[in-house]
Amino acid sequence: MVKKATQTKEKSAEVAPYLPEKKRLPKASDLLGNEIRAMILEQGLLPGAALPSESELIDSHQYSRGTVREALRLLEAEGYISVQRGPKGGITVRYPTVDLVSKSLATMLTIDLSPLSDLFDFRKLIEPAAAELAAKNATDEQVEQLLAISDYSIPERGSITFHNVLSESTGNEMFRVILAAVNRVVEWQTSLEGVPEREVMHAGDAHAAIAKAISLRQGSRASTLMLQHIQSYEKIMAERGRLSEATLPRELWIAQLRRSVHS
């Protein structure tokens, strides 16, 4: 009996042989899409440059018409190309926009139910650093633009435009692209919240102070003021009980997407 129990124990301890997961073979349309992306980058093609026609792509790559059309639809949705039908139509290069990235980011945050506190944590880490970098790298024209946007006499004084110009003023492409996408999400979030006018004006005051610090090349002060600005808005959201809730409530984001389709 002891021997039998030992054999059973040894058998149960045996490790099943490792079977690697089967890799999904890429679709032909994905392969062609990558080829076209590589061609655009390799040849340094600018927006508006003509690409091979649908028939030429079929002949050169030996793919079916359905595969080529699927690849083109994918690239058009991603913002890489523009396809015009008809006698004077054709396929031309188009660069992806930040708006496409922003919508993907917003949708991911909505699906994941990412809390609003996550957005504030990110902003408090990155945007003060961007303000400090802008104080160092902003051109005279960009400084003038920041000061103009934060002027009391213009409607955009408290808008997200200020944050976009500031990110461009860092002279750093990573800051510019990433913050442009995040700023768009912030813009959607604030518009869906229905922020009172007095808070918009308070944001304008903060923008004016940050712009002045940047114009004086006071990086540390610009960073501190930006942090205080974000914390001020965070406090308002905390008072509303929003920090633990989704950054973009699902039903509101769905409504926003549908509005953009019909606008």
189-229 pLDDT, tens digit per residue, is 988 887 776 777 788 899 999 999 999 999 999 999 999 99
Burial of residue 195 (CB within 10 Å: 0-12, 13-18, 19+) is middle
Mean of pLDDT values over 230-250: 93
Q: For position 214, what pLDDT does the model report?
A: 98
Name the least confident of 18-32, 57-71, 210-224.
18-32
207 and 257, same structural domain? yes
The answer as to whether 127 is a domain residue is yes
Q: How far apart are the first and last CA of the chain?
A: 79
> Which of 61, 93, 125 is the last residue in one of the domains?
93
On the question of pLDDT at 45 being above 70, the answer is: yes
The answer as to whether 20 is a domain residue is no
- Note down the domain range covering 52: 28-93
- How many domains does the structure of the chain reveal? 2
Instruction: Compare 3 and 133 and report the one with higher pLDDT.
Output: 133
| Distance, CA of 12 to CA of 223 (rounded, Å) | 61
> Which of 50, 73, 93 is the last residue in one of the domains?
93
Mean of pLDDT values over 51-74: 93
134 and 255, same structural domain? yes
CATH code of residue 50: 1.10.10.10
Q: For position 261, what pLDDT does the model report?
A: 59
Residue-wise pLDDT for 89-117, tens only, equals: 899 999 888 888 898 899 899 999 999 99
What pTM, to 2 d.p., does this model score?
0.77
- Mean residue pLDDT across the chain: 87
The answer as to whether 14 is a domain residue is no
213 and 162, same structural domain? yes
On the question of pLDDT at 256 being above 80, the answer is: no
115 and 58, same structural domain? no
CATH code of residue 126: 1.20.120.530
The answer as to whether 13 is a domain residue is no
| Distance, CA of 1 to CA of 58 (rounded, Å) | 72
124 and 87, same structural domain? no
